[in-house]
């Protein structure tokens, strides 16, 4: 698998060191509030597991599963929620976790949808954020790493459902990433 990478951006030790920092920041910000983590599956699974074990606060966990068709010609920006009911987040302080902020469509849709469930507050935490112009204003309060606008895999991120189990994050070789979405 690692041979399919053009180059490694962040090895496992670097990722975990950064998670220590973000977790410390989150733990400080939520020290007197009960946190509800909402993880966006499947991409944030590995990130979520490593991050939440670094937050020594009482917290709840819910997961959301969405299908986003961003990048595809006609359905660009469409986000479909796979579960019928949203988690019960009334009056809760929620922190949405996702793997990567790319176009921002997915997180904008999730944020909007969760707002209808009347939480007390919403923040967003992403492991990666691509440097690019976005049509939709999406702000992530916690960002692991800023990266260039390249297609990356590993540590939960996939290309056609592969590479999620790579312990590092790297740029997929161009010839393999011909159709990233």
CA 9 to chain CA centroid, Å, is 17
Whole-angstrom CA distances from 75 to 6, 32, 50, 65, 103 are: 30, 42, 33, 18, 14
Catalytic residue of the set 50, 98, 99, 102: 102
Q: Which of residues 49-108 bind ligand IMP (CB under 6 A)?
A: 68, 70, 98-106
Does the active-site annotation cover 102? Answer: yes
Q: Considering only residues 95, 97, 152, 169, which one is a binding residue for ligand IMP as defined by CB under 6 A?
A: 152
Side-chain half-sphere CA neighbours of 80 within 13 A = 5
From 25-33, 35-43, 108-116, 137-145, span contacting Mg ion (CB under 5 A): 35-43
Q: Which of residues 28-57 bind ligand IMP (CB under 6 A)?
A: 43
Q: Could you tell which of ligand IMP, Mg ion, none binds residue 152, using a CB distance below 5 to 8 A set by kind?
A: ligand IMP
From 28-36, 37-45, 78-86, 126-134, span contacting Mg ion (CB under 5 A): 37-45
Identify any residues that bridge with 93 across adjacent strands, giving them in sequence order: 35, 121
Identify any residues that bridge with 153 across adjacent strands, giving them in sequence order: 170
87 interacts with Mg ion by CB under 5 A: no
151 interacts with ligand IMP by CB under 6 A: yes
CA distance 42 to 63: 9
């Amino acid at each position: 698998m690692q041979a399919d990478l053009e180059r490694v951006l962040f090895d496992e030790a670097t990722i975990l060191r950064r998670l220590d920092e973000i977790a410390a920041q989150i733990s400080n910000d939520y020290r007197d509030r009960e946190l509800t983590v909402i993880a966006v599956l499947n991409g944030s699974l590995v990130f979520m597991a490593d991050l939440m074990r670094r937050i020594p606060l009482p917290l709840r966990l819910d997961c959301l599963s969405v299908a986003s068709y961003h990048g595809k010609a006609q359905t660009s920006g469409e986000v479909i929620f796979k579960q019928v009911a949203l988690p019960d987040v009334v009056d809760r302080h929620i922190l949405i976790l996702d793997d990567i902020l790319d176009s921002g469509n997915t997180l904008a849709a999730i944020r909007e949808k969760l707002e209808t469930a009347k939480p007390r507050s919403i923040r967003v935490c992403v492991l990666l954020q691509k440097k690019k112009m976005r049509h939709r204003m999406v702000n992530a309060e916690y960002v692991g790493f800023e990266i260039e606008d390249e297609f990356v895999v590993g540590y939960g991120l996939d290309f056609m459902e592969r590479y999620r189990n790579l312990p590092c994050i790297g740029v997929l070789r161009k010839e393999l990433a011909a159709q990233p979405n």
